[in-house]
């Protein structure tokens, strides 16, 4: 099992070190190789995704990714910015399905900004399509308007588009995921206004015919944004496009208490995947040893389950995280009175100790 380890920038190096420590504790044989990505790679090689890093990622069964970015790179040309490394990896590895499970651990019910009864027991899965939508559609750019409300004015434009096979494959992923859970898919669109999302709705409905055991509901994105904070437990699997998924999955992260708790997986058709926390490089707290490593550790668990076919090891990590939280240890982002504040490294050590206990036990 070959894992490419790409820590990246900011807190990326701190949190990935803890996830690697956790993987090393398991009685499994991994070949792990580390490479630079993002701003760190730009500093060393002049590019955020050097050829050598890309080659390593492509040859691996899975990529464990930290985070990239720093405000100091904001003035670079867009292709050289750290964030381009993620887009490059998604493109070259053919990653099209982004899984973000939002689970509220009982011990963190108080850390969420929502009422306990709204989020306790929450376990939903957001599946975001990654290859299409307005993020990649051509043409795009700036020009002088020839029509509209201000002809002759400077304007910018993007193109929203989805092909039928793109929608079909993400719909299949969502229905299959729902079959292993509570058998309900909510497809989020804006079919009342956008042609692209009327098409999305039609294609998802067509694919649904192959999954009669799974319930399908359609929901407009504005309503979905509201329902996610009003009654999130009504959802099971949510499937949506690239842009709506980007926004809704960050909204869902706050249901779990902190963005530092939310793992993610991006998969291609061969189950090769990129696993990363849902948060960024957090330059505001980088180097202080206070970042929460649990989203990255839980991403490593997803890696074991989805790409490395080690579901038992994944469950061992997840239950270790649960027992560490139950013991009252918290990083600063999830700390509340009556619990014990620990550093990034202490939190990683505690998860390692909990796993070691189950192996010995
Ligand atoms: P961010 O997710 O890095 O941080 C948002 C807030 O959450 C900050 O206050 C931060 O301290 C906190 N936070 C994030 N992760 C945490 C953790 N594990 N533990 C405790 N607190 C945590 O988002 P941002 O500030 O908007 O972006 C910072 C940089 O990260 C930017 O350069 C952005 O482009 C980049 N970014 C990268 C990725 C990625 O690598 N996949 C994703 C999002 C943003």
Measuring CA to CA, which residue among 299, 300, 301, 281 is closest to residue 291?
281
State the Cα angle at 46 between 45 and 50, rounded to 5°. 55
Q: Cα–Cα distances in Å, from 92 out to 273, 286, 305?
A: 12, 29, 22
CA-70 nearest atom, ligand 1: 32
* pLDDT of res. 322: 93
Helix-strand-coil percent breakdown of the chain, rounded to 5? Answer: 45, 20, 35
Q: What is the pTM of this model?
A: 0.90
CA gyration radius, the chain: 21
Is there a catalytic annotation at residue 201?
no
Best CA proximity match to 94, nearest among 170, 25, 13: 170
Question: Is residue 238 within 8 Å of residue 315, measured between CB atoms?
Answer: no
**Distance between CA 112 and CA 124 in Å, rounded?**
15
CATH of domain 99-263: 3.40.718.10
What is 1-96+268-361's CATH superfamily?
Isopropylmalate Dehydrogenase (3.40.718.10)
Q: Give 227-267 pLDDT, tens digit per residue.
A: 999 999 999 999 999 999 999 988 888 888 788 898 999 99
3-state SS string over 62-88? EEEEEECCCHHHCCCCHHHCCCHHHHH
Q: Burial-class residue 139 by CB neighbours within 10 Å (0-12, 13-18, 19+).
A: exposed
Detail the residues annotated as belonging to a binding site for NAD(+): 280-292
- Residues written for the chain: 361
Measuring from each residue's beta carbon to the nearest atom of ligand 1, which residues come in under 6 Å? Answer: 11, 15, 67-70, 83, 86, 259-260, 276, 279-285, 291-292, 295, 333
User: Where are the alpha helices (H) located in the chain, listed in sequence order?
Assistant: 12-25, 39-45, 51-59, 84-93, 116-119, 164-179, 195-208, 221-230, 242-255, 294-306, 311-326, 344-360
- The pLDDT tens digits of the residues spanning 274-301 come to 999 989 999 999 999 999 999 999 999 9
pLDDT in tens, 80-132: 999 999 999 999 999 999 999 999 888 888 878 889 999 999 999 999 999 99
102 close to 126: Cβ distance less than 8 angstroms: yes
How many Å apart are CA 121 and CA 109, to the nearest integer? 9
Please, are residues 135 and 106 in contact by the beta-carbon 8 Å criterion? no
Test site for ligand 1: of 69, 251, 274, most ligand atoms within 8 A of the Cβ: 69
Atom 8, ligand 1: which residue's CA is nearest?
A: 282
pLDDT score of 259: 84
In whole angstroms, give the CA distance from residue 333 to residue 108: 11
Q: Where in the chain is the domain with CATH 3.40.718.10?
A: 1-96+268-361, 99-263
């Amino acid at each position: 099992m070959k894992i490419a380890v790409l820590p990246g920038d900011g807190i990326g190096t701190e949190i990935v070190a803890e996830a690697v420590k956790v993987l090393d504790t398991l009685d499994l044989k991994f070949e792990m190789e580390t490479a630079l990505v993002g701003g760190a790679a730009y500093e060393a090689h002049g590019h955020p995704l050097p050829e050598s890093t890309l080659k390593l990622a492509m040859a691996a069964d899975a990529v464990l990714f930290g985070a990239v970015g720093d405000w100091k790179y904001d003035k670079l040309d867009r292709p050289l910015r750290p964030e381009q490394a993620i887009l490059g990896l998604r493109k070259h590895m053919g990653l099209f399905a982004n899984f973000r499970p939002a689970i509220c651990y009982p011990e963190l019910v108080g850390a969420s900004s929502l009422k306990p009864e709204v989020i306790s027991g929450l376990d939903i899965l957001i599946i975001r399509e990654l290859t299409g939508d307005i993020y990649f559609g051509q043409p795009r750019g700036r020009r002088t308007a020839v029509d509209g409300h201000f002809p002759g004015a400077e304007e910018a434009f993007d193109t929203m588009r989805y092909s039928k096979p793109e929608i079909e494959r993400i719909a299949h992923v969502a229905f299959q995921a729902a079959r292993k859970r509570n058998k309900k898919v909510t497809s989020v669109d804006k079919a009342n206004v956008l042609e692209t999302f009327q098409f999305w709705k039609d294609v998802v409905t067509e694919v649904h015919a192959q999954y009669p055991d799974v319930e399908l509901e359609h929901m407009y994105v504005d309503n979905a944004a509201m329902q996610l904070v009003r009654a999130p437990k009504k959802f099971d699997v949510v499937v949506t496009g690239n842009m709506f998924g980007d926004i809704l999955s960050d909204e869902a992260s706050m249901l779990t208490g902190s963005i530092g708790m939310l793992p993610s997986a991006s998969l291609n058709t061969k189950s090769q995947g990129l696993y990363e926390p849902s948060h960024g490089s957090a330059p505001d707290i980088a180097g202080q040893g206070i970042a929460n490593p649990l989203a990255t550790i839980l991403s490593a668990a997803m890696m074991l389950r989805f790409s490395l076919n080690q579901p038992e090891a994944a469950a061992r990590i997840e239950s270790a995280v649960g027992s560490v939280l139950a013991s009252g240890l918290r990083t600063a982002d999830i700390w509340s009175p009556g619990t014990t504040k620990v550093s990034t490294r202490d939190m990683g050590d505690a998860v390692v100790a909990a796993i070691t206990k189950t192996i010995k036990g």
